[in-house]
Amino acid sequence: MRTILLLILSIKCLFSFAQNNELKCSKSDTLVIIEKNSEKGFYHDYILFIPKETPFNKKTYLLVEPNNTGRTTDSIEVHKKYAIDLASISSVGNNVSTMLKIPLLVPIFPRPAKQELIYTHALDRDVMLEKSPELKRLDLQLLAIINDAKIVLNKMNIQVDSKVFMSGFSASATFTNRFSFIHPEAIKALAIGGFNGELMLPQKDINGTKLNYPLGLNDFTVLFDKKFDIASFKQITQFIYMGELDENDAVQFDDAYSEHERQIINNYLGREVQVRYLKCQELYLEKNIFPLFENYENVGHWTTSEINFAVIKFFFNQMK
């Protein structure tokens, strides 16, 4: 079992991970929890996982994977525990980070039981309409976290590119997909899987039916006070995968989608996950958006060593 050095830091602290210029790389896996800082635009702690042998003073990439607890709870300690596991043990992102020797960022966003329809970990519409400081515009909070992490990493002598890698599975894949529409300029490449077969669509309507966020672009300008940057979105290299046996379907549940959204998805994209996935591929290609789409036989709502290796290889190719 790997040994992980756990540090809990205030962002106000100066932290240098490599004071000695002769030190070329980290000697052990390190997990750093950085405290929230509302003055900098984020109301929640976040995690940095730095795998051993991460090089110093050499340009690399920061990998971002949104946290996904899998259930609601008002205990932030529960969300923190799941986020730590994701960062250090059980995620595609951790596999990528460990194998490619790049830092991994995981936010510790809540998913409150008292507001169970606000699906923070999927960045749903309710999140975007929320006005409380802690939950308002989690996309902007994540951007602020990323910017802060770059400063922290720089103090560790770990230099990361201005654009990030993003990964996600299940709800965190949905978060990543939606985040990529809102802030495409921030992302170099992304890899997502297990997302109910339903992707946000690069269009305002389907068969005359308007597609508001998170289904499409109809009210994008109203919500985000800017136009969808299609040029930047097309520059993101994307790897999108599903297991052929994956029937995990958040579409049919009220915390993930409203009844109106559910009807649109079922009527125009399909009531079955795999049918929906094929329809989304078709609509992306029609808009000249060309992710690498993959299906995996005998795989349900989980990942395998084959999938993990494919994602690692995908991000490795983006580092060249």
Indicate whether 302 pLDDT > 90.
yes
pLDDT at 7: 58
**Residue whose pair of structure tokens reads 């389907």 in the numeric block:** 206
Please say if the pLDDT value at position 25 is more than 50: yes
Q: For residue 305, what are the contacts with CB-CB under 8 A and spacing of at least 6?
A: none
Question: What's the mean pLDDT when you consider all of the chain?
Answer: 93
Q: Where are the alpha helices (DSSP H) in 12-120?
A: 76-88, 92-100
Mean of the pLDDT values across residues 224-234? 98
Domain 4-318 has CATH 3.30.70.3460: no
Measured at the CA of 143, the angle between CA 166 and CA 6, to 5 degrees, comes to 70
Task: Tokens for 88, please give them.
Answer: 């250090």
pLDDT tens figures, 124-137: 999 999 999 999 99
Structural domain boundaries of the chain?
4-318
Residue 208 has pLDDT above 90, yes or no: yes
Q: How confident is the model at residue 27 (pLDDT cuts 50, 70, 90)?
A: confident
Comparing CA positions, the residue from 217, 211, 145 lying closest to residue 181 is 217
Distance in angstroms (rounded) separating the CA atoms of residues 167 and 112: 23
Distance CA 108, CA 179 (A): 16
pLDDT at site 4: 54
Cβ proximity of 265 and 251 under 8 Å: yes
- Mean local confidence (pLDDT), 294-318: 97
What percent of the chain clears pLDDT 90, i.e. is strictly above it? 90
pLDDT band at 21 (very low <50, low <70, confident <90, very high): very low
SS3 186: helix
9 has pLDDT over 60 = no
> Which residues share a beta bridge with 160?
60
**The pLDDT value given to residue 18:** 36
Q: Contact, 92 vs 167, CB < 8 A?
A: yes
For residue 6, pLDDT over 80 is answered with: no
Whether the predicted pLDDT of 16 surpasses 60:
no
Q: What pLDDT does 284 receive?
A: 98
Residue 14: per-residue pLDDT: 31
pLDDT value, residue 24: 53
Q: Residue-wise over 184-219: b if at least 16 C-beta within 10 A, else e?
A: bebbbbbbbbbbbbbbbbbbebbeeeebbbbbbbbe
Listed range (25-39, 140-154, 163-177, 282-296) with the worst mean pLDDT: 25-39
What is the mean pLDDT of the segment spanning 37-64?
Answer: 97
Q: pLDDT > 70: what percent of the chain?
A: 92
pLDDT at 20: 38
Residue 23 has a pLDDT of: 42
pLDDT score recorded for residue 15: 37
Q: Look at residue 13 in the predicted model and tell me its pLDDT.
A: 34
Give the pLDDT band of residue 71 (cuts 50, 70, 90): very high
Q: How many helices (H) and strands (E) does the chain have?
A: 10, 11
**Contacts with 293 (C-beta within 8 Å, 6 or more apart), sequence order:** 240, 241, 281
